[in-house]
Amino acid sequence: MNLTIDVGNTRVKSAVFEGDKLINLYVFDKRKIISEIRKILKEHSISQAIISNVASISEKKMLQLHKLVDLEVVSSATKVPFKNLYKTPHTLGVDRIALVAGAVQQFPNKNVLVIDAGTCITFDFVNSEAEYLGGAISLGIKMRYKALNKFTANLPLLETLELENLIGKNTKESIISGVLNGVVKELQGIIDSYEQKFANLTIVLTGGDTNFLSKQFKSSIFANQNFLLQGLNEILKFKEHK
C-alpha cells in the first residue's frame, strides 16, 4: 500500500492507496503530523510514502518521518510522467507537480486544465503530448475576503460560500456578490480562453472550495477534492515502473 501526505498551511491531508483505489482518507492538524502518521502506519501495511510539503514542516519532523517510512519528498528533481516546460521548473510548487502528474496519468493523451481552488487558485495546463506548459496563480476566495477586511477601514471579514444575489443590497451582500461572482466569472473566462485555444479540453476542479464552485459551471467538469493525493500516488506508481 502507498501513503500520500499533503502538508498545507494549517492541516495535513493524507490517504492510503491500494493500487489506484483510495482506501482511507485522513485530515489532521499539521502540528500532530508525527503522531498521526504513526497511527496510520499501525493501521495499514505501508510499503512506501510520498509527501508534498507546501507549508514547510521542521527538518526535525522530516527526519522523523524518514525514520518511520520509506519516504519520497516531491521536488523539482522528482521523476514525473510528464515533460516540464515551465521556464523556471525549480520554482514550480510541489502541489502543482502532483496535480499535473495526476492529470497525465488519469487523462492520458488529453489536453487537461487543472484548477485547484484553495488558499490560492492555481491553473495548470498539460497538453495531449504530456507536456506541461504552465498556468496561472490567483487569489483564493478566503484570501479575497481577508484582503477586503485588512486593507479597508470598515469592511467586515466574511467567509460564506453561499451566493444568492447578483445585486448586493447591503455591505455584506455586496462583498459576497463581488467576491463569489468575481471568482466564478474569472474561472469561467479562463476556461473559455483555454477551450478556444485547445480542442477537446478536459477540466479538473479540486481544492477546498470544490463543492461550491463545481455547482456554478454549466460546462462538464471533473470535480475531485482528493485529486492532489491521487496525483502523489501516481508519482509513486510511476517511480515503481521506471
Domain of 218 in residue numbering reads as 83-242
Mind listing the pLDDT tens digit of every residue in the chain (242 residues)?
999 999 987 789 999 999 999 999 999 999 999 999 999 999 999 999 999 987 778 889 999 999 999 999 999 999 999 999 999 999 999 999 999 999 999 999 999 999 999 989 999 999 999 999 999 999 999 999 999 999 999 999 999 999 888 999 999 999 999 999 999 999 999 999 999 999 899 999 999 999 999 999 876 799 999 999 999 999 999 987 76
Tell me which of 20, 29, 95, 192 is the catalytic residue: 95
Binding site members for ATP: 6-13, 119
Binding site members: 6-13, 86, 93-96, 116, 119, 171
How many structural domains are present in the chain? 2
95 counts as catalytic:
yes
Grid cell in block for residue 1: 500500500
Q: 111-117 and 201-206: which strand pairing?
A: parallel
d(CA 46, CA 41): 6
d(CA 181, CA 177): 5
Asked if the structure places residue 88 within a domain, the reply is: yes
Residues 230 and 167 in one domain: yes
Asked if the structure places residue 26 within a domain, the reply is: yes
Residues 206 and 113 in one domain: yes
Residues 36 and 151 in one domain: no
Asked if the structure places residue 6 within a domain, the reply is: yes
DSSP 169-188: SSHHHHHHIIIIIHHHHHHH
CB count, 10 Å around CB of 196? Answer: 9
Q: Beta partners for 72?
A: 50
Q: Beta partners for 217?
A: none
Residues 197 and 121 in one domain: yes
Q: pTM, whole model, 2 decimals?
A: 0.92
